[in-house]
């Protein structure tokens, strides 16, 4: 959806037509966010009032919240806005766009990183077995540091009695 929206906005960035495509892209992204994040909340509140008014409740099959839905949404919005503002050119490679949208490691940098800030890095990266193995090594080292918890032995009251 964001790939196609970006292509349509990028045909004539800044024009009225591209503004309309931006509105459609932003609207669809926000609609998905609302559906996944707020549907259960909205239905719960409606059912509260329906119960008060003696109206049959809305059947609610709970919607599973995808991990990182807000992050993905705001990453996508920054991409579409950057194209509309002519701060970057449209990404014609859907895999690179997917890489940008799902680039969780940059979360530690603080707020959402704008597409135009890292577009050149996505375009000009090199892949080699050495760089890949170094990345895996760094990932596993960080994972090991993150997962190492102090071990404390707690004895249960039953074992203490024995």
pLDDT (0 to 100) of residue 160: 46
Q: What is the pLDDT of residue 148?
A: 66
Tokens of 125: 């990266």
Q: For 7-61, what is each residue's pLDDT tens digit?
A: 999 998 888 999 999 999 999 999 999 998 888 888 889 999 999 899 998 887 7
Q: What is the token pair recorded at 150?
A: 């102090």
Q: How far apart are CA 28 and CA 35, in angstroms?
A: 10
Token pair in block for residue 140: 């596993």
Tell me what the mean pLDDT of segment 103-113 comes to. Answer: 61
Neighbours of 140 (CB within 10 A): 10
Average pLDDT, the chain: 83
The tokens of 106 are what?
């940059």
**53 backbone dihedrals φ, ψ, rounded to 5°:** -90, 5
Consecutive H or E run containing 101? helix 94-101
Q: Closest Cα to residue 10, out of 57, 105, 80, 60?
A: 80
Task: Give the pLDDT confidence of 117-152 residue by residue, as tens digits.
Answer: 777 777 787 889 999 899 899 988 888 887 765 655
* ∠ Cα 135 117 21 (to 5°): 120
Predicted TM-score (pTM) of this structure = 0.68
Nearest Cα neighbor of 57 from 46, 66, 41 is: 46
Tell me what pLDDT residue 66 has.
Answer: 84
The interaxial angle of helices 94-101 and 115-123, nearest 10 deg, is: 130
Tokens of 102: 């799902």
Q: Is the pLDDT of residue 161 over 60?
A: no
């Amino acid at each position: 959806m964001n790939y196609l929206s970006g292509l349509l906005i990028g045909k004539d960035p800044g024009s009225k037509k591209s503004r309309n495509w931006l509105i459609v892209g932003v609207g669809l992204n926000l609609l998905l966010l609302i559906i996944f994040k707020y549907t259960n909340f909205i239905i719960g509140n409606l059912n509260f009032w329906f119960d008060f008014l003696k109206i049959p409740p809305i059947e609610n099959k709970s919607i599973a919240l995808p991990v990182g839905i807000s992050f993905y949404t705001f990453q996508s919005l920054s991409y579409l806005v950057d194209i509309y503002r002519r701060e970057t050119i449209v990404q014609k490679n859907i895999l690179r766009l997917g890489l940008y949208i799902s680039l969780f490691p940059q979360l530690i940098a603080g707020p959402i990183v704008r597409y135009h800030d890292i577009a050149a890095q996505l375009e000009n990266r090199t892949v080699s077995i050495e760089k890949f193995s170094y990345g895996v090594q760094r990932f596993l080292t960080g994972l090991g540091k993150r997962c190492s918890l102090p071990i404390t032995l707690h004895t249960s009251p039953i074992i203490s009695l024995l």
